[in-house]
Amino acid sequence: MDQSLSLKNHLLSIRSFEEYEILKQNPDIINTIAKEIIERHQLPAAPLNLFSEGTNLVFAYEKHTVIKIFPPFHLDQFKSEILVLNHLQGKLSIKTPTVKYEGEIFSWPYIVMSQLDGTLLETLWDKMSHENKMAIMRELGSLIREVHSLPIIGLEDIDCHWDDFIKQQLRLCQEQHRSTGLPNLLVEEIPAYLNSIKENLIKIEKPVLLTGEYTPMNFIVKQRDGFWHIDALIDFGDSMLGLSEYDLLGPGAFLIQGDKLLLREFLTSYGYTPNTLTPALSHQLAGLMLLHQYSNLNVQVRIKDWKSKVKNLKELETLVWGF
């Protein structure tokens, strides 16, 4: 059978996440997808290296190029990524990837983009000095403020209509956390805990561009003068427009890990003043942490033995966000 026809049949047969996960275990097929894209754009033949992590298929190709391929049921992620990459280009104090080509292969959208040099923050954070962590949190707070200050004209296609989004998350929240194995004692408290601040979660004065992905897996750092610094930001497939505090969740859970000095450094660098670091803000951030579309506290609260340290959601809030 013609290779292109065989590939087409394989790709068109994938209709579910489970089938996609099986396909990802077949290196011959997934490499053929990338090679088809290379041939389509008349790019030189070169080795392909599939990244092991990530929801989509991401290949390193040549020295400074990445090929990112999305299954059809992640079409929204493709649209978001391409829109935001182009929107951010050249507007930030750090680097973001440059789009070289975009297209679709048998209903699977793809992006060919620049690969940025450096080291993922995820690989360094645990062994980084506290002084360097403080510097990173200062840079991160300032970076998120930069992104949130940008105009959102032209980004209407990723508007999640915040009030609808949060109302949906409120309806699903308890079941979502029950399914991830959050202790039942905490799960049962969720409706009352969120209901008491519902207006602070839904109310929004000015939507901002949210990446929802300010996590150590999406920062590239470089060393200068013996210190690591944020050099680039990647992955915009989950971007949307909404409440600014939503973007503070990734750093709070993945990086700050209950360290109150890091928390204050981060939030003041973002723009909060000491008198605005209040119990109300702490409650709001903890509520949004529960409502995040990918919330799974077992994975995201990176505080050792945190479940043994809290008996209720208020204690969890204090552990992660209390000032």
> Of the residues 74, 97, 114, which one is the last residue of a structural domain?
114
Q: Which domain holds residue 74?
A: 3-114
Residue 298: CB partners within 8 Å, gap ≥ 6? 180, 181, 182
Same domain, 72 and 132: no
Instruction: Answer with the one of 90, 114, 138 that is the final residue of a domain.
Output: 114
Pair 44, 61 in one domain? yes
Q: Number of folded domains in the chain? A: 2
CB 66 within 8 A of CB 226: no
Contact 191, 171 (CB under 8 A): no
- Whether 86 and 141 have beta carbons less than 8 Å apart is answered as no
As a residue count, the chain comes to 323
Task: Say if residue 173 is in the same domain as residue 295.
Answer: yes
Angstrom distance (rounded) from CA 153 to CA 150: 9
| Whether residue 99 is found in the same domain as residue 162 | no
Cα 310 to chain centroid, rounded: 27
Q: Bigger pLDDT: 229 or 10?
A: 229
Q: Does one domain contain both 70 and 148?
A: no
Q: Are residues 275 and 229 part of one domain?
A: yes
One-letter amino acid for residue 143 of the chain: L
Long-range contact pairs involving 30-34 (C-beta distance under 8 Å, separation at least 24): 30/57, 30/69, 32/3, 32/7, 33/7, 33/57, 33/69, 33/105, 33/108, 34/59, 34/61, 34/67, 34/69
pTM for the predicted model, two decimal places: 0.92
Determine the residue type at 219.
F
Residues 63 and 9 both lie in one domain: yes
Can you tell me the mean pLDDT for 187-213? 94
pLDDT for residue 3: 66
How is residue 300 written in tokens?
Answer: 């995201």
* 97 three-state secondary structure: coil
pLDDT in tens, 28-70: 888 899 999 999 999 998 999 998 777 899 999 988 999 999 9
Residues 229 and 103 in one domain: no
The confidence band for 17, taking pLDDT boundaries of 50, 70 and 90, is confident
245-297: pLDDT as tens digits: 999 999 999 999 999 999 999 999 999 999 999 999 999 999 999 999 999 99
- Please tell me the distance from the alpha carbon of residue 31 to that of residue 19, in angstroms, as a whole number: 17
Task: Report whether pLDDT(151) > 70.
Answer: yes
- CATH number of the domain at 90, please: 3.30.200.20
Say whether pLDDT at 2 is over 80: no
Q: How high is the mean pLDDT of the chain?
A: 94
